[in-house]
Amino acid sequence: MPELDNGGMDDRPADEHPTLPDPPEPSPMSGWPSPPPPTHPTPQPYAPASPPPAARPKGRIVAAVLAALLLLGAGAGLGWGFTRDQGSPAAIGGSSNGQAATSLDVQAIADRVEPAVVDINTEIQGSLGQIGHGAGTGMLLTSSGEVLTNNHVIEGATKIGVSITGRSGTYAATVVGADIKDDVALLQVQGVSGLPTVTLADSSDLVLGQEVVAIGNALGQGGSPSVTEGTVSALDRSITVGDGQGDSEHLTGLIQMDAPIQPGDSGGPLVDSSARVVGMITAAARGNFGQSPSNVGFAIPSNDALGIVGEIRSGDESPTIIIGPAGFLGVGVQDLDSETAARLGLNVTSGALVLSVRPGAPAESAGITQQSVITAIDGQRVSSADALGTAIRRHDPGEQIQVTWVDRSGTHSATVRLITGPAV
């Protein structure tokens, strides 16, 4: 996946799709994938979100190929936009039988589910005011407009729009809550009622070789969802997905399927032969440009996703579950290392190095500048960019926090009032 420096906007034509190799079968002895042949690079899992929409014919079933497009994200509560690329996979556990789907009436199943599948389009403002765009998929859980999707679909968004089948225009949506660790988010669409909803299945009943259908907003093109079919090839999978910035996310307990998954399908339903949702599409295998297609995708089981939705609905905030909007400081940061600290002439060796300060944000008002290092929040040590994000997410917009930072002139501290920022 290419990296961007332009605030998350992809200038590459949307029809520029590389092809990818099939990943190796997992080793029955260790549970880890076997090394691929030298001429076939190891595919990498990526979370399939996509750039902005283009017109697409209605109602087509897609023989899809994986495209190395972008997932847009942001440092939660910090206001820094990243291009998220995918790191090396660590697919652990489960097993695969490689069975192909042959008997499903795919279009009939899709016709039953599609009315409750929505397109999600986001705007993301870069640290210097640039506007980027992302797209993904969601599922209607309630007739009043609750939508289940991945957190990475809406992560960092300053504006969320939802398109609903059979209704014109785009509806605004807000984040009810999100689990940043398990990549689940619950949205509320504004000003709607009487909507169709998905039917959820018990995902613990899934078996290897079971035929499934994947539905999503492939390539962010909008219109009638794209549909692919395949089988459950492994259960209880664990994968590691990198963000292109040296960090990674570890997702566990996933369904692996051999249905082709494209960018933009994130948050879409994986359904069984009875048109019931067994999982939420989350990631897919990715290899290098110019390789043959890969049909390996991953989904969060419906039981797991619904359990997180229940926690969000009950308002059970935790270190990983954020309820409502998070406080926003307005800095872009990365981990400070000793080499960078020495080069910048700083007398600290750990903390959150400030790369960017959002104009008009609380950090700017406090006097925090680029190449400063934030070392504490409310007197509690901050040793990394992630630690800063965790500390800020504990606070709501409007709350005051004390920020301590270091620059070449010394150590400083100020009390700032957080504002409402992008989605987590």
Identity of residue 163: S
**Burial bucket for residue 166 (CB in 10 Å: 0-12, 13-18, 19+):** exposed
**Burial bucket for residue 390 (CB in 10 Å: 0-12, 13-18, 19+):** middle
Q: Could you tell me what percentage of the chain is helix, strand and coil, using 3-state DSSP and rounding each to the nearest 5?
A: 15, 35, 50
Active site residue 179: no
First CA to last CA across the chain, in angstroms?
22
Smallest Cα–Cα separation from 69: which of 182, 221, 214, 180?
221
Q: Which of 152, 258, 265, 372 is catalytic?
A: 152
Alpha carbon 96 to its chain centroid, in Å, reads 26
Dist. CA 125–CA 345, nearest whole Å: 31
Instruction: Give the pairing type, strands 419-420 and 410-417.
Output: unpaired
204 membership: H or E segment, kind and range: none
Smallest Cα–Cα separation from 139: which of 160, 157, 165?
165
Active site residue 266: yes
Burial 233-270 (b: 16+ CB within 10 A, else e): bbbebbbbbbbbbebebebebbbbbbbbbbbbbbbbbb
30-38, Cβ contacts within 8 angstroms, sequence gap of 24 or more: 31/92, 31/93, 31/94, 32/90, 32/91, 32/92, 33/89, 33/91
Q: Which of 183, 258, 304, 335 is catalytic?
A: 183
Q: Which of 127, 203, 224, 266 is catalytic?
A: 266
Torsions phi, psi of 310, nearest 5? Answer: -60, -40
CB 353 within 8 A of CB 373: yes
Dist. CA 364–CA 136, nearest whole Å: 33
Bridge partners (DSSP) listed for residue 299: 255, 281
Alpha carbon 85 to its chain centroid, in Å, reads 11
**Strands (DSSP E) found in 50-158:** 71-75, 80-84, 117-125, 131-140, 146-149
Q: Which residue has the tokens 């909507």?
A: 195
At 209, list the tokens: 């070789």
Active site residue 183: yes
DSSP designation for 219: G
Residues taking part in catalysis: 152, 183, 266
